[in-house]
Structures are given as C-alpha cells and as structure tokens.
Amino acid sequence: MLDVALLFQDFRNIDLYYQGHYHLKVSLSHLDPAGRVTQGMPYYAQPENSQSHIDDKAMTFSTRSFNVRFCEEEIEIDDMVHFRVEVPVTKDSLASEVLMTVVLLFK
C-alpha cells in the first residue's frame, strides 16, 4: 500500500494570458516494471466547508477555484488530498514509478 499526501499551498501566476477562475485537477497512478498501471484513489480532502472535491468515478481531486488577476500574483490555495495506491511488494518494487498528473483548468 502506498499513501501519498499532497498539499497545494500557493499558486503563482507567471505568465497566464487570461484573467479568470482556475483550478487544479490531480490524478496519481503507479506504473510497475511490466507496464501495468494502477490508478490511485483519492480518499481524503479538506473539511466539508472547502470547495475542493474528489471525483470518485474519474479518481481525481480538484482544488478550490481561484481567481487570477495579475502577472506575478501569488494566490493561497491551501488544499490537501491523500491518494492511496495498492502496490504489490516484490523485488521489482523499487523499479516501479509513481506518476502524478496535474492539469490547470480555466473556467
């Protein structure tokens, strides 16, 4: 079993062209040496009052939306999620990879 905790503390706008609402969408997977992929399951997010959410069907986590207005602007996100991946323990386990995909989405 592999547990990964991710904390999205801040977002710094370096050169986005469009002002507006953005959020991050995250997934995590395990790739073993044989090429088999196991999707990580997000199982914990912020308390109920947070706008972040878990999509159980897609096995992804989305941060709360944040508004980007200026270049070089730093925005506090403060969202956290835990992913759990079932990884078989074998002698080849050290040669396996954990892949995290983070996508910035514009609304």
Angstrom distance (rounded) from CA 73 to CA 9: 14
Q: Per residue in 63-78, pLDDT tens?
A: 999 999 888 889 998 8
SS in 3 state form for the chain? CEEEEEEEEEEECCCCCCCEEEEEEEEEEEECCCCCEEECEEEECCCCCCCCEEECCCCEEECCCEEECCCCCEEEEEEEEEEEECCCCCCCHHHCEEEEEEEEEEC
pLDDT the model gives residue 46: 65
Q: Per residue in 22-52, pLDDT tens?
A: 999 999 998 887 888 889 999 876 665 578 8
Per-domain residue ranges of the chain: 2-106
